[in-house]
């Protein structure tokens, strides 16, 4: 049998035989053959009906979602349009925490006072999450806590979404969480009042595009960049710090992920920051970072923060010698590194000769929340652990007059925050006649603790050992040498007075007001 031959089965041969037998029978015309109807399965019909119904349902759902989204966008647009059309002749200060007691709050009240002096036609409105704040209470706080006497009480707008900017809300991805939360909080604020000028004094750059959408002129006073190249380099070096968890620092993979996160965040931060019409910064260090990140050097002005040098400079330079006091003024926050100060002080005491008077270390600071209270309690426990509890004092949430009194008897002031953007408290030490012992980085290094007329004005330290050496040197320094250094430091501090701040602030903001009114 060849390749093309075909073997037939019984059924095939039978059908051929039948065909042969019927060859002589008359054939029906082709057209007369009956067509067999094609019967569709009930299941097939049902599945097609189900598919059609499903498609219709999906279309309805999609249309509902699109309609809802469009409706929501139109609703938001109507709010923005309403706000733009009814802007108040006011400067609104976005400062959600008006009881933090730090240098940022001092800037707030000095900025309010400067604008009150500059323009009587503009209302000053404080946007705050402190619900007990009132115009009179804020005016009294500015005077009692900071010695800033406002011309008239500011108006107050209470915000109720502040929890969205609190660090406790975001155990992980804190920066992006707080930044996005600030957008929500700013939306609440601008829906309540849409001012001509939106003035951020707390460093929430992600709110600037929102304010621009509402038609506001955006001004900011930036104390420090939310992200910096230094932060990225520390993660790259896998250094454990308050803003770089030890578990991440130990892991190569997690560190790489965090570097990517930081770099992406820095791109976003640069985009939103560039929305500011005027960016005032508080130091050379901050200025260099902001100009690189935001890319608006022509709109970035360095205005040193206000330091109460006039009142503090009236204090005598001579100090009681029976119990030398070293003061530490800072909020009880992790970045302030107060535990390092305790460790250095404990070692320094042991290094002093027995015939020297035993010194005291005085912590003066404010607590913003429960976390700060817990940190304060841990400091007290650490003092007991180091066996120096009788040599350490803690003063919480003191009034300004009490702070002046404590500064007036201190021979030295200690500061230990890494990359402190400026360091108002270091200037206050110098103005009060307390020799500063500050961290050898950022503001204190670049702007403050520098020679004056060829004379040293204080000490810079990097680690516990260097702080110990500086403390011992100050305590053992002959009185005439200490007075000489204190006098040079006081003269240096006059460069950062409130009066200088008012002059530089008005010079920076004046063109913005003139342009808007023109």
Radius of gyration of the chain (CA): 36
CA angle 431, 418, 387 (to 5 degrees): 85
Pair 451, 485: CB distance under 8 Å: no
pLDDT score of 47: 60
Domains, the chain: 83-306+500-517 (3.40.50.2000), 309-496 (3.40.50.2000)
pTM recorded for the entire structure: 0.75
Distance of CA 199 to the CA centre of its chain: 15
Enumerate residues 6+ apart whose C-beta is below 8 A from 292.
Answer: 229
- Tracing tokens 């040193």 back to the chain, one arrives at 304
- What number of CA atoms fall less than 13 Å from residue 79's CA on the CB side? 15
Q: Dmax of the chain from CA atoms? A: 143
Nearest CA to 277 among 362, 340, 334, 197?
197
Nearest CA to 425 among 265, 306, 255, 340?
306
Pair 364, 410: CB distance under 8 Å: no
Nearest CA to 221 among 286, 282, 290, 133?
282
pLDDT score of 19: 40
Q: State the Cα–Cα distance between residues 318 and 313, nearest whole angstrom.
A: 12
The rounded average pLDDT for each run of 10 residues, N- to C-terminus, in the chain (518 residues) is 41 41 46 50 57 71 79 76 79 94 89 95 96 96 92 97 92 92 97 97 97 97 90 71 62 84 94 98 96 96 89 91 93 93 97 91 91 94 97 93 94 95 93 97 96 96 97 96 97 93 96 76
- For residue 280, the cross-strand partners are 221, 301
Q: State the Cα–Cα distance between residues 447 and 288, nearest whole angstrom.
A: 13
Q: Three-state SS for 323? A: coil
pLDDT score of 486: 97
Q: What are phi and psi of 377, to 5 degrees?
A: -65, -40
Q: State the Cα–Cα distance between residues 108 and 130, nearest whole angstrom.
A: 15
């Amino acid at each position: 049998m060849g390749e093309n031959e075909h073997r037939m089965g019984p059924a095939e041969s039978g059908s051929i035989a039948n065909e042969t037998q019927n060859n002589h029978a008359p054939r029906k015309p082709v057209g007369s053959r009956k067509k067999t109807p094609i019967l569709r399965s009930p299941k097939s019909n049902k599945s097609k009906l189900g598919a059609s119904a499903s498609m219709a349902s999906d279309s309805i759902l999609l249309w509902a979602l699109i309609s809802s989204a469009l409706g929501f966008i139109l609703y938001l647009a109507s709010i923005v349009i309403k706000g733009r059309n009814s802007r108040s002749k006011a400067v609104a200060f976005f400062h959600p925490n008006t009881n933090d007691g730090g240098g940022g709050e001092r800037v707030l009240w000095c900025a309010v006072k400067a604008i009150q002096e500059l323009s009587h036609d503009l209302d000053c409105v404080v946007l705050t999450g402190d619900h007990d704040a009132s115009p009179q209470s804020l005016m009294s706080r500015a005077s009692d806590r900071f010695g800033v006497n406002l011309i008239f009480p500011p108006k107050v707008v209470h915000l109720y979404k502040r929890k969205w900017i609190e660090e406790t809300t975001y155990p992980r991805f804190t920066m992006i969480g707080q930044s996005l939360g600030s957008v929500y909080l700013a939306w609440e604020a601008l829906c309540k009042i849409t001012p001509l000028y939106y003035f951020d004094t707390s460093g929430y750059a992600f709110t600037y595009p929102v304010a621009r959408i509402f038609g506001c002129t955006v001004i900011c006073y930036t104390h420090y960049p939310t992200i910096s190249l230094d932060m990225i380099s520390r993660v790259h070096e896998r250094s454990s710090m308050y803003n770089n968890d030890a578990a991440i620092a130990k892991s190569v993979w997690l560190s790489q992920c965090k570097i990517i996160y930081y770099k992406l965040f820095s791109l976003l931060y640069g985009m939103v920051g560039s929305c500011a019409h005027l960016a005032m910064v508080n130091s050379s260090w901050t200025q260099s970072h902001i100009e690189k990140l935001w890319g608006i050097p022509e709109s970035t002005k360095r205005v040193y923060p206000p330091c109460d040098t006039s009142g503090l400079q009236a204090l005598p330079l001579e100090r009681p010698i029976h119990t030398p006091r070293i003061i530490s003024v800072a909020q009880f926050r992790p970045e302030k590194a107060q535990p390092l100060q305790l460790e250095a002080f404990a070692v320094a005491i042991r290094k002093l000769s027995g015939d020297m008077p035993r010194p005291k270390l005085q912590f003066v600071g404010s607590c913003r929340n429960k976390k700060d209270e817990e940190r304060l309690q841990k400091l007290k426990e650490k003092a007991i652990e180091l066996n120096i509890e009788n040599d350490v004092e803690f003063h919480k949430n003191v009034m300004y007059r009490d702070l002046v009194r404590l500064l007036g008897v201190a021979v030295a002031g200690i500061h230990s925050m890494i990359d402190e953007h400026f360091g108002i408290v270091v200037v206050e030490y110098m103005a009060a006649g307390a020799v500063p012992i500050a961290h050898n980085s950022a503001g204190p290094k670049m702007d403050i603790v520098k020679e004056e007329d060829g004379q040293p004005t204080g000490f810079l330290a990097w680690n516990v050992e260097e702080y110990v050496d500086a403390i011992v040197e100050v305590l053992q320094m002959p009185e005439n040498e200490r007075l000489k250094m204190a006098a040079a430091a006081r003269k240096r501090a006059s460069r950062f007075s409130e009066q200088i701040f008012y002059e530089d602030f008005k010079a920076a903001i004046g063109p913005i007001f003139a342009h808007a009114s023109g």
